[in-house]
Amino acid sequence: MCLFGFSRLPSERTGKITAKAAVIFVTLQYNVTIPATEEQSAETISLYHYGIKDLATIFFYMLVAIIIHAIIQEYVLDKINRKMHFSKTKHSKFNESGQLSAFYLFSCVWGTSILVSENYISDPTSLWRDYPHTLIPFQMKFFYILQLAYWFHAFPELYFQKTKKEDIFRQIIYIGLYLFHIAGAYLLNLTHLGLVLLVLHYFVEFLFHISRLFYFSDERYQKGFSLWAVLFVLGRLLTLILSVLTFGFGLARAEDQQLNFSTGNFNILAVRISVLASICMAQAFMMWKFINFQLRRWREHSSSQPQSVKKKFVTAKGKNSRKERENGINGTVTSNGADSPRSRKDKSS
């Protein structure tokens, strides 16, 4: 009995260690329980802050994102590709838009539900009021963890999807911009503003990718791109307005403007200018890409028009050539051989 009992101790300890390690990867860490008060609420509230253990959680959900990506690709997108018979270029763009439209839709719906439940839409001052926002609810932290996990999973997907070498650099910049801004909002305790800007940006991007999916199925479909173009410009303007209000008006008038790592307060002039400049540069970069996209579409549309006109001219010219053979050139009667009335008269005489 004694020997048997001692033989079970290592396995029990190993099981406990494995369970503790698994909890770090699966569940959210750094939980803070706020006791109930008569003034605020009758129930205890669980809030969260960030820490180094979040890297393990992000890694786990990055693997989950890779699995979900493969499921959507195999059971949805590949089946549609077999039916539509796309070219290689359209095939890769269709897969990209299919994956991103699903992610953007999911993030928009989830982010909007958080905004509504936390009353961020009805009260815009909540974007900067009570800063630093070190303690956030479960849904908010889980949202940011999944956002970081998804964009980190995009790096190995470049290998799995066999991305072309000329497109890898563009994709790395695209992914890096998302990670830089999402991680910046998470680490600088600007989660309220970051959530609003992400939902706004994701909605516009979802409209673009869903329009591109419809365009691949029917190239005559152009209305979605027109609506996206209007909302894209409005989205950039609204992003700049909210950013300037938060950093130039709200946080600039806060009482506590001293850098304090222990309390998570980064509300100093240098940080405000750096973050605002980063947001403005990102908006300028996207507007530059947007203008180039619209110019390319305009060139393609203008180049397709002369070809159609040329085809009409060739068909009309073909009809005229037939009449010329029958009645002469430019409506005049020819005097060649037996077609001439005068020669027929001379023969009869």
φ/ψ of residue 123, rounded to 5 = -130, 90
CB-based contacts of 143: which residues, under 8 Å, 6+ apart?
A: 107, 110, 111, 114, 195
Q: What does the pLDDT average to over 53-61?
A: 96
Residue type, 232: F
Instruction: Please state the separation of Cα 345 from the chain's center in Å.
Output: 82
Sign of dihedral through CA atoms 308, 314, 317, 318?
A: negative
**Which of 319 and 69 is assigned the larger pLDDT?**
69
Q: What does the pLDDT average to over 207-226?
A: 87
CA dist., res. 112 & res. 118, Å (int)? 10
Q: Pick from 82, 92, 127, 135: which is nearest to 241 by CA?
A: 127
CA dist., res. 247 & res. 269, Å (int)? 9
CA dist., res. 173 & res. 180, Å (int)? 10
Both tokens of residue 255? 């009482």
Q: Pick from 256, 26, 228, 240: which is nearest to 129 by CA?
A: 256
Among 9-18, 67-76, 138-147, 276-285, which stretch is predicted with the lowest mean pLDDT?
9-18
pLDDT digits (tens, 9 = 90+) for 3-38: 444 445 555 666 666 777 788 888 999 999 887 665
Q: What is the CA radius of gyration of the chain?
A: 32
Please determine, for residue 306, whether its predicted confidence score (pLDDT) is greater than 60: no
Report the mean per-residue pLDDT for the chain: 83
Q: Residue 130: count other Cβ atoms within 10 Å of its Cβ.
A: 11
CA dist., res. 268 & res. 256, Å (int)? 9
pLDDT digits (tens, 9 = 90+) for 229-244: 999 999 999 999 999 9
Both tokens of residue 328? 């002469």
Instruction: Please state the separation of Cα 277 from the chain's center in Å.
Output: 21
**Domain residue spans in the chain?**
22-34+44-302
